[in-house]
Structure 1
């Protein structure tokens, strides 16, 4: 492996400064390509800029570069002389990211480049330093996978058979690229997904999932009283798959509980109305913030505010171990007639929030410690615009049992029937990826990992969505594994990549490429 020269790929001072920092481990080509992805706006649903950048990298390297109709890009690198008879291997990563800004920060993810920075490692067991963005998610999920694959494609010192570098689109939202990939686009019999987040593990299976949406018709009225705005912020949030079992609070559930308990203790049943209630954003993020507006009788305002403070403190005590940064903000408005949802509609809305399923539904009966089925209550929208007369609730269930996902949909249909809501028809499920312990690619990768690290890797199935199941559906017989460097708090402004784990992932991949027969 040759140490890379400084690159002209980077255009922002922040990215250039990080690349020049001596604390970044070799090979620097990984960081060159990764930082080029970091400074490129590439939130899910906005594929043009990152896709064209990757196509440009392929052409710059003089390699065969192709795009399919779904927006996936594949770059093919021929075998090293003498390795032409080796089987082809596809290295795959997705180029979109989950865009999340710190609370209170206005950030245009369609135009502004992220600002990377090297920080002290929060866990010295994984090295002295780590990489984060400044007040936004970093997009190491899965930009670092893109960086590793591009660096392998660029490295002319490696020995290997034919390589395909596959870069897919909109993994974080709809799995659009993997679901709609052109049949035969992947020529290789083996695929290594570089989207795992724990470097001591080799992933051999994952959960599937789908989206469900409930729409609840409601009525508005003019309610006389005091308008009060309440905001809940500062919860951890995080990935709704790999962190769903950690018991983190859902802002929608907590804010609904707060309003219910406060009005209950103030004997306000039938005497208040919600003006709005909004929380959640991305389907794969546990909601960290929510806000609402409520109208209560003017005569009850003082009592309501006192009880509200009391209930807020009770919630802080209940969640003090997990949600240390929980914060409530109240704003008292005018006493007047306010357009609000009438009490019956308000009651229906709050009841849905209170009983909406969220969290782990079932643990795997076969794999100890693995979540089999979960659901993320990811968004609630009760809008205060004049034209709005319905509430919307969004859910994102996951399961490693494809046959159980229709059961979850039926449970949500039962909820909809109970409250008089409409629900979307059974949507397309993106399938889970069934483990294959007899996979020869897995056997070789385990042996290689042990040679490099002196210990066995953990073999693991993850409760999150990886694209391997969809690739296998369109390319029957494809053998897959997933690996990657260590990162934590993805899909949040706390996202952290442990930089010293990246070279190990690179070495694992390049050694497997050299040894595979």
Structure 2
């Protein structure tokens, strides 16, 4: 069977391009929801929103009901030193060698590719007469909030195709569980007359904390904290790093003071020289300069905060046949706040990691609310859906798919929990650099993914 790879003048490219012009960072989804409602109404499709901000669009037909699902929100990250109003300004996109990029910002291929495929499925005559439920979920990138908040039994279908995977070569049959462990420290600034400095690092590559956690990407928060810990008597006036718990921090800065006699400049020179040898990062900038401040945390509180950052379990802890099994990302440090995102496909390992991090933060005086742990998920090896998806892939592409369990979190697990008896897989076009300004989508694979999805839907509906 042959398939189309010419993406030009296709519905999927048109829909995806339109989506890039609708601002939709997490927590600000009114515009995208209204856009999709208008799309449904203009095509005569039933639609329904729920209290969690999700949108369900139905294409009525006969036979087995098939559920397609993707999330509306995007991670809002831009290049170091750049400011961008993600809430109000459309993305500035361009196409180069078959890949679409955004200038200086995330593109929203995660999960704009999935949304575009659902819009195609809802309108293409090739799927006329097939009963489809297309679920557009809210705020996936900040804790699967839409999936968690949807009511049980909202969906009638029991076959779920999640469209949030990022490699055309793969069929995902499971995903890791995860949580956000957030600590808040009740530190109060005090008068400080010591000499002040600002240390800052920017331009690190960052990346998705699931897909790139094992690629030796520098964590900007840890780099700054390790430097500050090398000096006695340091007091922190401000500390800020990272953009989201599921993004490896690309930049961080701290305003601090040091007592007379502390060789701040010499220590920085030695430390930054060591970073050059350790960091496999081509374009970062690490600076120290004199500054001013009149208040800061006392030495004890400053030390406790830095101890928590440096001691917080971070990186890869366990692997299995599918790749990374257990990891954590220290994603945010913002004044008296720290957020880590542990992940694991083993829920016992996840709970242990959550407990260790929570106990560490509490032991240094922080308040930590018990986090919600999103469940891991894996389809059985004899699943009818997995077998049919693999057979269809083989027939359509003429090669074997890679059947994988992703270290990322997918909403499939939460949606399945609310709909007993549901089977699920995840597929999607190839997206690289998700959650970073380097994000890009291979438009040829967007067209390939549509063809494969349509063929799979036809076979499922027979």
Q: 2:345 aligns with which of 394, 400, 405?
A: 400
In 2, the alpha carbon distance for the partners of 1:222 and 1:63 equals 62
* Residue 444 (structure 2) pairs with residue 504 (structure 1): no
Q: 1:50 aligns with which of 32, 57, 61?
A: 32
Does the CA contact (< 8 Å) of 1:26 and 1:503 recur in 2? Answer: no
CA separation of 1:67 and 1:168: change in aligned 2, threshold 3 A: same
Secondary structure at the residue paired with 1:52? helix
In 2, the alpha carbon distance for the partners of 1:431 and 1:340 equals 40
Secondary structure at the residue paired with 1:172? helix
Measure how far apart 1:24 and its partner are. 6.6
Structure 1 match to 2:275: 315
In 1, the alpha carbon distance for the partners of 2:451 and 2:256 equals 57
Secondary structure at the residue paired with 2:193? strand
User: Greater Rg, structure 1 or structure 2?
Assistant: 1
CA separation of 1:512 and 1:140: change in aligned 2, threshold 3 A: same
Structure 2 match to 1:461: 405
In 1, the alpha carbon distance for the partners of 2:194 and 2:137 equals 53
CA separation of 1:406 and 1:27: change in aligned 2, threshold 3 A: same
CA separation of 1:78 and 1:413: change in aligned 2, threshold 3 A: closer
Scaled by the length of structure 1, what TM-score is found?
A: 0.85
The CA RMSD over aligned residues, in Å, is 1.8
Paired residues for 1:116-265 under 5 Å: 116-120=93-97, 129-158=98-127, 161-261=130-230, 263=231
Measure how far apart 1:362 and its partner are. 2.0
Structure 1 match to 2:386: 442
Structure 2 match to 1:325: 283
* Residue 7 (structure 2) pairs with residue 62 (structure 1): no
Does the CA contact (< 8 Å) of 1:27 and 1:503 recur in 2? Answer: no
In 2, the alpha carbon distance for the partners of 1:417 and 1:96 equals 32
Paired residues for 1:416-455 under 5 Å: 416-424=361-369, 426-455=370-399
Does the CA contact (< 8 Å) of 1:224 and 1:297 recur in 2? Answer: no
In 1, the alpha carbon distance for the partners of 2:110 and 2:6 equals 18
Measure how far apart 1:430 and its partner are. 1.7
Does the CA contact (< 8 Å) of 1:159 and 1:514 recur in 2? Answer: no
Structure 1 match to 2:53: 71
Secondary structure at the residue paired with 2:143? coil
In 2, the alpha carbon distance for the partners of 1:296 and 1:413 equals 30
* Residue 71 (structure 2) pairs with residue 94 (structure 1): yes
Does the CA contact (< 8 Å) of 1:211 and 1:397 recur in 2? Answer: yes
Structure 2: give runs of 5+ residues left out of the alignment: none
Does the CA contact (< 8 Å) of 1:445 and 1:508 recur in 2? Answer: no
In 1, the alpha carbon distance for the partners of 2:359 and 2:45 equals 53
In 2, the alpha carbon distance for the partners of 1:160 and 1:136 equals 40
Residues 341-350 or 165-174, more deviating: 341-350
Secondary structure at the residue paired with 1:74? strand
Structure 1: give runs of 5+ residues left out of the alignment: 1-22, 121-128, 264-268, 383-390
Residues 275-284 or 339-348, more deviating: 339-348
Residues 49-58 or 344-353, more deviating: 344-353
Measure how far apart 1:461 and its partner are. 0.4
In 1, the alpha carbon distance for the partners of 2:187 and 2:153 equals 49
